[in-house]
Amino acid sequence: MSSHLKKYGIFASGSAMGAVVDYAITMLAAKFLGMSPELALGLAMLFSATAVFFWHDHITFKSAGQSRLARKYLAFMLWSVLVYLLRAVLLVGFGMVGLPLSIALALSIGLASVVNYILSSRAIFRTQKG
């Protein structure tokens, strides 16, 4: 259990980089470009997903070289689309209950992070050690 918590901490650190990019681009695009927050979040995730993939592959799960990079990258990018959809649904839901965008976005990103870790660690970046 403690190894999963430690690994989740490393995962969250890498994901935090992506989340900062997601948060900043989403807020800026929504405010200054007039984009819907959900669309702006999708745009932001396009920029952050690749950097986060390499963080997780090399640092979080240390799985670089254990299997084909292209397959893992494609799986991660497809999974990122599902994470985006989860975040967008949460964002809309939190908005519907009246939360300010800044809080709704932070909650959406945080909750989706836990789901993201579970699948990423068990399917995408699974190492032979566990």
- Residue 130 pLDDT > 50, yes or no? no
- Residue 37 pLDDT > 60, yes or no? yes
9-15, Cβ contacts within 8 angstroms, sequence gap of 24 or more: 10/59, 10/60, 11/56, 11/60, 11/117, 11/120, 11/121, 12/113, 12/117, 14/52, 14/55, 14/56, 14/59, 14/60, 15/52, 15/113, 15/116, 15/117
pLDDT tens across 77-87, in order? Answer: 899 889 889 98
Q: How much is the average pLDDT of 93-114?
A: 92
